[in-house]
Amino acid sequence: MVPALDLSHLAASGARFVTGWELLHDARTLTRLGPGRMDADLLRGGNSYAGRWIPPLVILQSLRLRLAGALAEGDIEWGVLRVARLAADVTLQEQPASHSIRSAWSLTDDIFICCTLQVELRLGTEEGSWTGRHTGSTAWPRSWGLGTAR
C-alpha cells in the first residue's frame, strides 16, 4: 500500500526558508519597494507586490528550485502540484546597528534595515492541501540596501 502524500513539512520548511539569509539577494529590491504584501504563484511565475506586478525575486526562484528538489528526492514529480502559492506581509524598519550586527557585516554602518516577513506557503495536489506559516526577520546595512555601500 502506498502511503498518502503529506507535504506539510515541505510547506513549513519552505515558508521558513523565505525569511532566511538568502533574502539578502533581494535587499535592494525590497528596500526600494518598501513595506507591502508579496504574492507569488510558484507554478506559473506570476509575482506581485502591493498589488503591482514585479519581476521574480531571487528568493522566489530559489524557493521554487528547493521545492522541486525536495519533491524529486521523494520521487514526486513537480507536475503533481496544482497549487504552489506564497503570500508574505513585508515590513521594513530602520534600526541602530548593534555591535554584534556591525561586526558580523564588517561594516561601520550605523543604521540597518530589519525586514520582517509573515509568510504563508500553500501547496496543493489532487490528494490534499498543506499550508506552512512562518514569521522571521533578516537585516542588512541601509547603505547596502540602497546601493550606496562602498
Annotate 54-100 with three-state secondary structure: CCCCHHHHHHHHHHHHHHHHCCCCHHHCCEEEEEEEEEEEEEECCHH
The C-alpha atoms of residue 131 and residue 128 are separated, in whole angstroms, by 10
The larger pLDDT score, comparing residue 118 to residue 147, is at 118
**Does residue 140 belong to any structural domain of this protein?**
no
**Does residue 95 belong to any structural domain of this protein?**
no
> Is the confidence at residue 19, as pLDDT, over 60?
yes
**Band of residue 149 on the pLDDT scale cut at 50, 70, 90:** low
Which residue range is the domain that position 45 belongs to? 8-90+118-135
**Does residue 20 belong to any structural domain of this protein?**
yes
**Does residue 147 belong to any structural domain of this protein?**
no
**Does residue 98 belong to any structural domain of this protein?**
no
Number of domains in the chain: 1
Cell of 59: 528568493
**Does residue 126 belong to any structural domain of this protein?**
yes
The C-alpha atoms of residue 19 and residue 30 are separated, in whole angstroms, by 13
Tens digit of each residue's pLDDT (9 = 90 or more) over 98-110: 755 655 665 666 7
Confidence (pLDDT) at 4: 60
Instruction: Output the pTM of the full model.
Output: 0.88
Confidence (pLDDT) at 111: 86
**Band of residue 2 on the pLDDT scale cut at 50, 70, 90:** very low
**Does residue 55 belong to any structural domain of this protein?**
yes
Average pLDDT of span 62-66: 96
Confidence (pLDDT) at 1: 37
Confidence (pLDDT) at 11: 97
Rounded to the nearest 10 degrees, the angle between the axes of helix 8-18 and helix 58-73 is 150
> Is the confidence at residue 150, as pLDDT, over 60?
no
**Does residue 113 belong to any structural domain of this protein?**
no
